[in-house]
Structure 1
Amino acid sequence: MSTVLFDLFGVIARPQSTEGKDRLVRTAGVSAAAFWDAYWALRPPYDRGETHGPGYWRQVADCLGTHFDDHRIAELIEADIAGWSAVDDTMVALIEELAAQGRRLALLSNIPEELASYYLARHTWLNHFQVRAFSCRIGHAKPEPDAYRWCQQALREEPGRILFVDDRQDNVRAAEAIGMRGHLFTTSARLRECLAQEETAR
């Protein structure tokens, strides 16, 4: 059976919640449009582990022309984690099922250190993944080719033997560009169909 390399957010974990987004903007005390421009523009280095949470939020403050003290930064980190903390129980059940079947599983996620630590401390189902490639710990983030190559080397698997599952088309295409097979995630039911077809084709 091929190895299944999963994305985390938008596949197993839910996308950033509306409540979480609102809480972040309220905590920052700035306009939503300006906040999200700064949040996303500065996110890639944070995801790659080139800065830590306080450093990231100081950069966001500088970009916004404001100042966040240590207390505000702690509140922003907590709010950011909360907004990304919900998981899809249906997908968690599928992970458990695949692991019980002996399927080899791996994870590739664009995630900062504070959020990675939160998930590892609270979700034992992450132990089912033989490789957990958190961008903050491997120094590469999707859709950079080296993020996928890092996973391939860690798995010691040929690219064509890896099925990459992500909810973003650009990330799937990047995986396919290095020889992996890709599945654009929409629902757990569609993913099950894909895995069943794979089994039938064996």
Structure 2
Amino acid sequence: MARAIVFDLFGVIASTQTPEDIRAIERIADVAAEPFWEAYWALRKPYDAGQPAAEYWAAVADRIGVRFTGATVRALVEADMRSWTNVNAVMVDLVAELAAQGRTLGLLSNIVADLVPIFEARHGDWLRHFTTLAYSCELGVAKPDHRAYEIVAERLGVAPRECLFIDDNETNVLAARELGMRAEVFRAPDQVRTLVAA
């Protein structure tokens, strides 16, 4: 049995962006969608690791050959943050269930600094079930960097091989396995229950 269970946040407990969220961001950016989203994702890792929002959005604009005004950047930040605040209620209940069983829980998330206080204010009631909240923006490294996994294990007081890690991104799962973690790509809440019981 794993001594600690480490969850990714977005795509596992928290929801990814909805089509409505995506369209709202596209309306604000007012540029072609394909190059915009290519730049949005290609440049995201430094933002997740602590880069200021203004620098991130300037880099996105530069990559697609436009300039965003200050007002546009503020609107993009607001819409972007709002797009990452919804959760999977079934997974939230599962987190509470595991905590009630006495499981040691950790959260390891690639998340931008601006979103942390917003997300914690909205979801603090269930985030309290985690022994540690390891955010890329405060770690200074983002998954799949091995150091991110090492830090969360250290904070939990266990070796990486004593962790069960759940993430929706296969690249992140493979990186965790390289460190000896038992790691699986998230599919459904019942899958997590099976993995925990194994």
Partner AA of 1:56 in structure 2? Y
The answer on whether the counterparts of 2:161 and 2:179 sit within 8 Å (CA) in structure 1 is no
Q: TM-score with structure 2 length normalisation?
A: 0.95
The answer on whether the counterparts of 1:110 and 1:135 sit within 8 Å (CA) in structure 2 is yes
- Matched position secondary structure for 1:67: coil
Q: Which residue of 2 aligns with 1:81?
A: 81
The answer on whether the counterparts of 1:164 and 1:183 sit within 8 Å (CA) in structure 2 is yes
Q: Supply the distance in 2 between the matched residues of 1:42 and 1:102 (Cα, whole angstroms).
A: 39
Q: CA deviation at 1:42?
A: 1.1
Structure 2 portions without partners, runs of 5+:
none
Q: Supply the distance in 1 between the matched residues of 2:175 and 2:182 (Cα, whole angstroms).
A: 10
Q: Supply the distance in 1 between the matched residues of 2:155 and 2:141 (Cα, whole angstroms).
A: 14
Structure 1 portions without partners, runs of 5+:
198-202
Partner AA of 2:76 in structure 1? L
1:145 has 2:156 as partner: no
Q: Supply the distance in 1 between the matched residues of 2:99 and 2:6 (Cα, whole angstroms).
A: 13
Q: CA deviation at 1:196?
A: 2.0
Partner AA of 1:194 in structure 2? L
Q: What's the RMSD between the two structures over aligned residues?
A: 1.1
For 1:47-196, list aligned pairs within 5 A: 47-49=48-50, 51-124=51-124, 125-196=126-197
Deviation sequence 1:118-145 (CA, Å, 0-9, x none)? 1111112111111111000101111111
Q: TM-score with structure 1 length normalisation?
A: 0.93
The answer on whether the counterparts of 2:11 and 2:168 sit within 8 Å (CA) in structure 1 is yes
Q: Supply the distance in 2 between the matched residues of 1:65 and 1:158 (Cα, whole angstroms).
A: 46
Q: Which residue of 1 aligns with 2:26?
A: 25
Q: CA deviation at 1:98?
A: 0.9
The answer on whether the counterparts of 1:162 and 1:181 sit within 8 Å (CA) in structure 2 is yes
